[in-house]
Amino acid sequence: MTTTTATPTGGDRLVRRRARRVEPVYYLFLLPSLVLFTLAITVPGIIGIFFSFTNSIGIGDWELVGLTNYVAALSDPAIVQSYLFTFGFSLVTVLVVNVVAFGLAVGLTSRIRMKVGLRAVFVIPMVVSGIIIAYVFNFLFSNSLPAAGQALGIGFLETSLLANPDLAWTAIVVVTAWQAIPGALLIYIAGLLAIPGDVYEAADIDGAGRTQRLTRITLPLMTGYVAINVILGFKNFLNAYDIIVGLTGGGPGTATRSIAMTIISGFNGGDYAYQMANATIFFVVAVLIAVAQLTMTRGRSAL
């Protein structure tokens, strides 16, 4: 028996071409956002990169100085310290946020009472301004915690953590994680609820315990959601600013000064071109990190 393969006719090709064509009205709706993005982000960014090659202080006359600002920035101990602090703080905070958020998500999707109400309570920190949270915790770390440390005889808590150059970063991690956990929690809850119940029923039939279900079913199926939270969290923590300003102001000394704080303080101090070079370096580093993250997580899609 011979078989024939139907070849698409001219009419079929025309229908497919029309189906793939994007209606002009979509471009019309995209245009306002594209214009605003270009005027508010792209154009100022290009202008800033240009001025990073000058000696401008933000106003007045300026001259081109080439790569002088970049060479100085890369050898500036204060800028190097801000990079080390920011990346170290980001890595630790990403780990804390994801471990705590995942644990809470597992608990809040299990068979417990009032889990819906508890979910609402746990997401409250996400809707509060970071600077307000920072000032509240500033009072707690500066007054309440030292008082408790003195009453209990705990030496390192008798003075404010925010005044200790070696421990101030831990307070920033705690407060930042406290605000960031709800966002990661919501993503993990969505992922856990998307796992089909049949998978767990089959595991129960096979006699799998809770630990086996967690390590062999839940965690592998949640890989995509973990990747999402890690990428979003690391990106947000690299830009840390308001909570650090409210807690330590970058101190003691410059022990907790982030990259964003260094750049903004330079703008206000007349080092416009110099800090624009720093901002350009930070932009390139952030892009490289984003590309690396996307490359490593490619193919690990959510359910």
Show the CA angle centred on residue 189, arms to residues 185 and 193, nearest 5°: 175
Strands, DSSP E only, in 6-56? none
Indicate the pTM of the whole model. 0.82
Q: Which pLDDT score is estimated for 1?
A: 47
Q: Which two tokens stand for residue 269?
A: 């101090």
Provide the pLDDT for residue 26. Answer: 83
Q: What is the pLDDT of residue 217?
A: 84
CA distance 40 to 118: 40
- Domains, the chain: 20-51 (no CATH), 76-297 (1.10.3720.10)
Q: Please list the ranges in the chain whose pLDDT falls under 70.
A: 1-20, 297-303
Residue 265: partners with Cβ closer than 8 Å, 6 or more residues away: 250, 257
Radius of gyration of the chain (CA): 26
Cβ atoms within 10 Å, residue 1: 2
Coil vs helix vs strand at 64? strand
> Phi and psi of 67, rounded to 5°?
-95, 15
The b/e string for 53-92 (b: 16+ C-beta within 10 A; e otherwise) is bbebeeeeeeeebeeebbeebeeeeebeebbebbbebbeb
pLDDT of residue 12: 57
Number of H helices, E strands in the chain: 16, 0
Q: What is the pLDDT of residues 253-280, one digit of tens each?
A: 889 999 999 998 888 777 889 999 999 9
Looking at residue 209, its pLDDT comes to 78
In this prediction, residue 237 carries a pLDDT of 93
Whole-number pLDDT of residue 16 = 59
Predicted pLDDT of residue 6: 52
- Distances in whole angstroms, Cα of residue 143 to Cα of each of 81, 201, 263, 303: 29, 51, 31, 47
Per-residue pLDDT of 154-174, as tens digits, reads 877 788 889 888 889 999 999
